Structure 1
C-alpha cells in the first residue's frame, strides 16, 4: 500500500475513533439554553396566567414576560461531542453538572426543590405587589416543616398555626425558637396551635383562624448538636390575602419569576397600562419587601426575550454587569433593585422617556 494511502487511511480511522469517543465518553457537564417566555398579563394553555377574584381588575395590554432557562435533566448524561458543541454555541452554556444538581441530590429532590421555590416566589410576589399598592396583607406564624424522628414528629404538622409557646403569644416567626430554647433539653414545652386544616379553611375566607378549635400540644425537648433544646420543627410565615390571587403556570420551577409576577399583579389591579403597550420582559427573585434578587442564566434569558420580540429587559442590579457583556441587539437592559424601581421604569417606558432609564454596564466600565 502506498505510504500516502496508508497515511490517509490511518488519519481517517483516527478521526472515526475520535468521533466515536466523543459520542461514547460521558462528561460531568449539563447544558443551559434559552427557555420559553410567558406573558404574565396574558393566557397560557388557554387560561389567564394571573387570576384575581374578589377585587376590581383592569384590562392590561402589552407584555410583562417572565423568562426561563431550559436545562438538561439531573439524569441526563452529556457526551464529549455535545459538550464541545455547547461550548461553541453562542446562545447556550455548558456548566459543571454539580452547579445545577448538587452531588447526592436525586431527580425527585431537585424537582421538589424547584417546585417549592416556585411556590414561595408566587407568595412573595403577591405580598410585594399588594404592599406596592398599599393593600394590607395579614400574616401568621406556622409550622413550616417537621423533622422526621424528632420530638414534634406526629405531634405538630406543616401548616399548623402557632399561636403561643408556654402561654406566651407568638408575634413573629423568630419568637418560636427563642421560647423553645429557654428550656433545657428534656423539659416539656407547650404549643398552642390551630390545626392546619382549620387554618386553611379560615384563610380561604381571607381571615385568621379564631380561638375555637385551638389545641395545646406538650412536647418534650431534646438536645441539639449545639447543646440547645429543640423539638424538631422549622417555623415559617403564612400570609392571609384579602382576596384570592392565583398563578396558573405549570412546568416551571425556581424563584426567578417573582418580579414579573408581582408586576403583572400590580398592572391588573391598576387602571391603565403600565407598559403603554410595549413589550417588556425581565427576571429576578423578589422577597416580601419587594427587594429584587439575582438569578442564574441571565444571558440565556435575554436571548430568549429578544427572540420573542422584547424591547426592554428588567434586569436585577446584581446581574447587570454579566448581562451587559453580551446584550442581544435591539434589547435595552433596565437595572432594577426593587419592585418600586421596576414600576418607575415602566412609567418611563410608557411615557417614552427611555433616556432616563437606569441602564446596565459591563463590569469595570465607567
Structure 2
C-alpha cells in the first residue's frame, strides 16, 4: 500500500471514528415541541372533557373552541445525542434547552410524572373553584391534611382528609397557617390539633352541611426535627379542599402540569352559562389559575402557540408574563390576547364574539 493510500485510509477511519463519536456522545439537553391541543368543550378519546354530573344543574349548548394546549418534552430518563441536539437547534418547530430547566435537582422520570400529575389535579380543582365563583356560586373551602408522611409523628394520629380547625387553639384559615404554628415549637414539644375527622367531614358534606361544623376532636402530636434545618415538624402536608355546589368531572388522560387551568375554567363557565362564550370562534390558550381567578405564567409558550395555530385557532389567550416570548416568535395569523385574570379572559371572549377585536389587549414583544 502506497503512503498516499495509507494516509487516505487513516483519514477515512479517523472521520468515521469522529462521526461515530458524534452519534454516541450524550449531552445534557432536552427538546420541546408542539403537543396536541384539546377542545375543553368537546370530547377526547370518546369521553367529554368536561362532564357536568348534576341533575339539578342546567347545562347549555356551546359552539366554537376553547382549546387547551400542550408541549411535548423528552422524558427525564432520555439522554439526547449531540447530533440530535445540533439538529434540534436549527428546527423551527422545536426548542432544545438545558435538561435541568425541565428536570431540576436530578428528578427521575417517575418523580417528574408524579409531580406533573399532582399539578394537573390541583389545576383542575382551582379551575372548578374559579369557574363557579365566576358564575356567582359559593364554594366553601377548608384546610385539610392532604397527606401524612410514612413513619412521621403524625402517622396513626392524623389522617388524610381530616379538617384542621385549629393548632394549639389558634384558628387555621389557610394551609400555610399550619406550618407556621407548628414551627413555633421546638422539636420534641407537643402540638395540639383541633380536627374534624375525615369520616365526620364526609358525612356532613353528603348531608349538605358545612363539613367544618361537625364534631371536633383534639389530637396531640409530638414534634420531631426536620432533617434539613432542625425545625419542628409533625410530618403532614396541609392542603385545601372544597365543597362544590355543582359536580364537574374533568377527564383528560396523558396530560400533566398546571397550565390548562384557565381553559378548563372557561370551558366550565361556557357549559353552565346561557351565553355562548366564543360565538363560534376558535380560541385556544394557556395559563395556570388559582381559586380567585388569577392567571399565572407557564412554560413552552412558543410551542403552544404553534400547536394552536396548526390546530386552526384564530386567538390565543396568553398569560401576561408570557407575552414577550409569545409575541417574539408567534405564528402569523394568530392573535395573541394578553390576560392576567379570569375576568380578562371573559372580557376578551366577549369582544371576540361581538366582533370588537380591534379593542383586544394584544401581546407585544419585549
The alignment's TM-score, normalised by the length of structure 1, stands at: 0.91
Q: Secondary structure of 2:83's match?
A: helix
Q: C-alpha separation between the residues in 1 aligned to 2:300 and 2:352?
A: 25
2:51 — aligned with what? 51
What does 1:36-115 align with in structure 2 at a 5 Å threshold? 36-54=36-54, 55-115=57-117
1:321 to 304, 320, 324: 324
Q: Which moved more, 1:56-65 or 1:226-235?
A: 226-235
Unaligned 5+ segments in structure 2 are: none
2:288 to 248, 264, 285: 285
Unaligned 5+ segments in structure 1 are: none
1:245 — aligned with what? 248
1:222 — aligned with what? 224
Q: Secondary structure of 1:153's match?
A: coil
In the TM superposition, what whole-angstrom CA distance separates every residue of 1:176-219 from its partner, at most 9, and x where no partner exists? 34544555543323223233344345445654336656443221
1:150 — aligned with what? 152
Q: Secondary structure of 1:78's match?
A: coil
2:351 — aligned with what? 348
1:309 — aligned with what? 312
1:330 — aligned with what? 333
Q: Do the aligned residues in 1 keep the contact of 2:157 with 2:219 (CA within 8 Å)?
A: yes
Q: Which moved more, 1:139-148 or 1:76-85?
A: 139-148
Q: Secondary structure of 1:103's match?
A: helix
Q: Do the aligned residues in 1 keep the contact of 2:30 with 2:74 (CA within 8 Å)?
A: yes
Q: C-alpha separation between the residues in 2 aligned to 1:87 and 1:68?
A: 20
The question of 1:195 aligning with 2:200 is answered: no
1:237, CA displacement in angstroms? Answer: 1.4
Q: Secondary structure of 2:284's match?
A: strand
Q: Do the aligned residues in 2 keep the contact of 1:202 with 1:209 (CA within 8 Å)?
A: yes
Cα 1:204/1:112, change in 2 over 3 Å: farther
In the TM superposition, what whole-angstrom CA distance separates every residue of 1:18-37 from its partner, at most 9, and x where no partner exists? 33222211111111100000
1:362 to 341, 360, 365: 365
Q: Do the aligned residues in 1 keep the contact of 2:22 with 2:82 (CA within 8 Å)?
A: yes
Q: Do the aligned residues in 1 keep the contact of 2:204 with 2:214 (CA within 8 Å)?
A: no
The alignment's TM-score, normalised by the length of structure 2, stands at: 0.91
2:267 — aligned with what? 264
2:137 to 135, 138, 151: 135
Q: Do the aligned residues in 1 keep the contact of 2:161 with 2:198 (CA within 8 Å)?
A: yes
CA RMSD in angstroms, aligned pairs only:
2.4
1:323, CA displacement in angstroms? Answer: 0.5
Q: C-alpha separation between the residues in 2 aligned to 1:200 and 1:319?
A: 40
Q: Do the aligned residues in 2 keep the contact of 1:280 with 1:312 (CA within 8 Å)?
A: yes
1:25 — aligned with what? 25
Cα 1:204/1:324, change in 2 over 3 Å: farther
Q: Secondary structure of 2:37's match?
A: strand
Q: Secondary structure of 1:260's match?
A: helix
Q: Which moved more, 1:140-149 or 1:219-228?
A: 219-228
Q: Which moved more, 1:320-329 or 1:165-174?
A: 165-174
Cα 1:23/1:234, change in 2 over 3 Å: same
The question of 1:231 aligning with 2:234 is answered: yes
Q: C-alpha separation between the residues in 2 aligned to 1:330 and 1:5?
A: 58
Q: C-alpha separation between the residues in 2 aligned to 1:342 and 1:149?
A: 45
Q: C-alpha separation between the residues in 2 aligned to 1:206 and 1:14?
A: 77
